[in-house]
């Protein structure tokens, strides 16, 4: 038995989950066609990696916590002040940016070169919509 592992409480169709992850990874990989976008991670509200592209697994795990935490804090803060739901936020560093998009049931964390944050948001909109459809099929 692995430390920290507990049996799932519900039946999970592992083939369907793997298929979703493969599809999400494909959508994220498509974001890398933009020269400025270096990597992307889809993360659950609990901070678990749903899929990633252009990012090492260890970095994806680390950044998933960042994305989930930022969305949680931003969501509570913007609602408290009456501004509604937090949609996106960016961290600008000396050599790049981290942009986090809130999609309700998941978040999208995008690593990029320094760029106009609105362009990163626009470039990621289709991916956000596609991933939402994959995770929450009608």
Note the pLDDT tens digit of each residue in 59-101: 999 998 888 888 889 989 999 999 988 888 999 999 999 999 9
How many other CB atoms are found less than 10 A from the CB of residue 49?
A: 22
Query: Which structure tokens are listed for 128?
Result: 């956000």
Q: Is the pLDDT reported for residue 33 higher than 90?
A: yes
Quote the CA–CA distance of 47 and 97 in Å, as a whole number: 20
Domains of the chain: 36-135 (3.30.450.30)
């Amino acid at each position: 038995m692995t430390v920290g592992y507990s049996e799932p409480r519900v039946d999970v169709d592992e083939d369907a989950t793997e298929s979703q992850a493969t599809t999400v990874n494909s959508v994220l990989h498509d974001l890398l066609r933009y020269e400025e976008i270096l990597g992307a991670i889809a993360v659950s509200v609990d901070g678990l990696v749903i899929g990633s592209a252009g990012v090492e697994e260890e970095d994806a795990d680390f950044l998933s916590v960042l994305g989930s935490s930022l969305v949680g804090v931003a969501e509570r803060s913007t609602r408290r002040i009456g501004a509604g739901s937090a949609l996106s936020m960016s961290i600008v560093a000396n050599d790049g940016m981290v942009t986090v998009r809130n999609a309700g049931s998941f978040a999208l964390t995008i690593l990029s070169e320094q760029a106009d944050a609105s362009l990163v948001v626009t470039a990621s909109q289709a991916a956000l919509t596609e991933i939402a459809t994959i995770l929450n099929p009608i």
